[in-house]
A and B are shown apart, each in its own frame.
Chain A
Amino acid sequence: MTATHPEPAGNAEAQGRAPSSVAYDDWIVKAFVVATLLWGFVGMLVGIYIALELPFWPANLDSPYLTFGRLRPLHTNAVIFAFAGNVLFAGIYHSMQRLLKTRMFSDALSQIHFWGWQLIIVAAAITLPLGLSQGKEYAELIWPLDIAVAVIWVVFAVNFFGTIAIRKVKHLYVAIWFYMSMVLTIAMLHIVNNLALPATLTRSYPIYAGMTDALVQWWYGHNAVGFLLTTPFLGLMYYYVPKTANRPIFSYRLSIIHFWALVFLYIWTGPHHLLWSGLPDWVQTLGVVFSVMLWAPSWAGMLNGLLTLRGAWTRLRNDPMIKLWVVALTFYGMSTFEGPLMSIRDVNSLSHFTDWTVGHTHSGALGWVGMAAFASVYYIVPDIWKKKLYSRDLINLHFWLGTAGIVLYVVPLWVAGITQGLMWKDLDASGNLVHGAFMDTVRVLLPLYWLRLLGGLLYLGGLVVMIYNLVKTVRGEAAEPAAVPAPAK
């Protein structure tokens, strides 16, 4: 690696950003970054544990607290709300203050938001292994915690819109629009899906019954994916990609069009989780066609990111942060092609209930959400701690561990999903199941489950390398104020 390009991070002047006189609240960004790394580690460790339990059940150690059924929601809640949630908050507090040239609306609200959110996570980490659950995927938390989430979210929303109100610039950059879609939509989804009548302190009954309940649940479930794991990460992309690459955004027009197309189309697609169910046929069809129409607007986001990096292609080979973004955007494109495909009834009848779904989930989660989160944090840490990044080679190592981990996670699960789906559909001449015993189909998958575990270990290894690198960065040399880059290690 040579010293031909400026260190992008920690150096406002080098990027043509006017040194600002605004005193930004960087403490809150630091806090959310630390929480991201901590919970990311814990959440993925639990992911590895349940990935072990699937092929090797004795790992539950005969303890109810460690069974797959209780740890799985712990994993999903930890990675979605603690890892992805905290990194979004870190990125939002970091980028929005700078984009709007103002400190956050209220430091007190920022603090309540941070501590409240972490307390909720701790409460989740206690209640879920105890078996306390509402039994709705991604909405497992019991009703007192749901109320806490709603309150903290409103605190965040007030702070967020307050900051927009006191902004020092007129224009709202597209990243802010994407953040806004998350703040509003998640509030609506969370509240509507969790409406329930409490019976005891830990138990409640949803106000919806049967199919209505299922529909509301997946309207929530899919849009949690859409407005937590997709749109706000696109917001991060729109801020950190041009910052990292030091390049203009490819197209303003495209960013506006695909923003409105995404938010309009996403909200209708929930029924693709309930295909071939008791849901009325025409509602299922709506879910199918809106999912298919999401393909192009999703790819518009990928293209706008990749084409922004276009001017930095020469740096692709030696700038690991750009490589992280390229992988993130590519997996975003991959999973938003796969998703519409899986929404088509005939494909879904094969993929549903199989590991194909889990593979799709993690190509989005590890590939897009994870890599985008890492790339953003690698930008944020040197910038706010005002330190020089400890090692680019370690980022490169992280890049390879992460990418290899994703491939070893996703490819075996595609094979597993399609294999199992075909085995289930296999009928003999007189119409009987060829593989009548469910276990027969599971046994075939065991080697693939071991491979997935290996993929997870590599991916977590990458995160450990990252944490080491960042700790060294924070403890290390201060960034040089001038734009003279030091040769990387």
Chain B
Amino acid sequence: MTDEQVLGHADECDGIEEFDNPSPTWLNLMFLGTFVYAIFYFGWWHVWGNRSQAALYDAQVAAAEAAAPPEAKVALEVTPETVAAGQKVYTANCQGCHAADLTGATGPNLVDETWIHGGALEEIQQVIANGVASKGMPGWKPIIGEAKVNQVAAFVYDRSHQP
């Protein structure tokens, strides 16, 4: 690039001179490459690929369901196993509203004397399974399945009935 010539309009540009070098070849190829990529990416999604966000979601859920081990039935009973498993379910799903120590936040305290829907194991299980839609307590059975509902009910019962 020793024979570069300035364009010579510096007096029009406050003294700034300009060369007129060609754009580097690799940059031109890169620009072209991104156009090719763009065409293929668009086609892959919408022309021959026929992909869609909704279809991808369905496929992922189906794959996860197929891969998941069949859910073992868990009886509604308070045992060290159900309580330990229930604690995990609680941490993942409930502590945002009922607090990590179950003393309540958006949702009510679960370890005090008062129960809105009753403190028996079956009553606790029912409210968790079906929720109280009007008050903002989701029904959990369709979300986490019956086994986990039974486990977390055992956990809540266990913590709320400590001597």
Question: Is A248's CB under 8 angstroms from B30's CB?
Answer: no
Q: Does A171 contact B (CB under 8 A)?
A: yes
Closest Cβ of chain A: how far from B58's Cβ, in Å?
14
**Are A248 and B6 also in contact (CB < 8 A) when A254-B23, A432-B92, A437-B95 are?**
yes
Closest Cβ of chain B: how far from A435's Cβ, in Å?
9
Closest to A238 in B: B16
Question: Is A285's CB under 8 angstroms from B13's CB?
Answer: no
* Residues in A neighbouring B24, C-beta threshold 8 A: 303
CB contact list, B46-74 vs A, under 8 A: 46, 51-53, 64-65, 67-69
* Residues in A neighbouring B69, C-beta threshold 8 A: 429-430
Complex CA gap A15/B13 in Å reads 12
* Residues in B neighbouring A253, C-beta threshold 8 A: 20-23
Question: Is A249's CB under 8 angstroms from B91's CB?
Answer: no
Q: Does A442 contact B (CB under 8 A)?
A: no
Question: Is A292's CB under 8 angstroms from B37's CB?
Answer: yes
Q: Does B113 contact A (CB under 8 A)?
A: no
* Residues in B neighbouring A286, C-beta threshold 8 A: 42
Q: What DSSP secondary structure best describes chain B's contact surface?
A: helix
* Residues in B neighbouring A299, C-beta threshold 8 A: 27, 30
Complex CA gap A299/B27 in Å reads 8
* Residues in B neighbouring A293, C-beta threshold 8 A: 31, 34-35, 38
CB contact list, B7-44 vs A, under 8 A: 7, 9-24, 27-28, 30-31, 34-35, 37-38, 41-42
Complex CA gap A290/B35 in Å reads 9
> What 1/0 mask marks residues of chain B from 119 to 161 whose CB sits below 8 Å from any chain A CB?
0000000000000000000000000000000000000000000
**Are A282 and B46 also in contact (CB < 8 A) when A248-B19, A252-B19, A295-B34 are?**
yes
Q: Does B115 contact A (CB under 8 A)?
A: no
Interface size of A by CB at 8 A reads 53
With most chain B CB atoms within 10 A of its CB, the pick from A99, A173, A436 is A436
* Residues in A neighbouring B92, C-beta threshold 8 A: 432-433, 436-437
Interface size of B by CB at 8 A reads 45
Complex CA gap A300/B30 in Å reads 11
Question: Is B42's CB under 8 angstroms from A436's CB?
Answer: no
Q: Does B79 contact A (CB under 8 A)?
A: no
Closest to B64 in A: A431
* Residues in B neighbouring A300, C-beta threshold 8 A: 23, 27
Partner of A431, one of B12, B16, B68: B68
Complex CA gap A252/B93 in Å reads 60
Complex CA gap A243/B6 in Å reads 15
Closest Cβ of chain A: how far from B48's Cβ, in Å?
14
Question: Is B27's CB under 8 angstroms from A296's CB?
Answer: yes
* Residues in B neighbouring A101, C-beta threshold 8 A: 14
Closest Cβ of chain A: how far from B36's Cβ, in Å?
10
Q: Does A107 contact B (CB under 8 A)?
A: no
Contacts A99-B13, A173-B12, A253-B22 supplied; 9 other A-B pairs, CB < 8 Å: A18-B15, A170-B12, A252-B7, A289-B41, A290-B38, A296-B27, A296-B34, A300-B27, A307-B21
- Enumerate 15 A-B pairs (CB-CB under 8 Å) in ascending A order: A16-B15, A173-B13, A242-B16, A248-B19, A252-B7, A253-B20, A253-B23, A285-B45, A285-B46, A292-B41, A297-B31, A429-B69, A430-B69, A431-B64, A436-B92
B interface residues, Cβ below 8 angstroms from A: 6-7, 9-24, 27-28, 30-31, 34-35, 37-38, 41-42, 45-46, 51-53, 64-65, 67-69, 88, 91-93, 95-96, 100
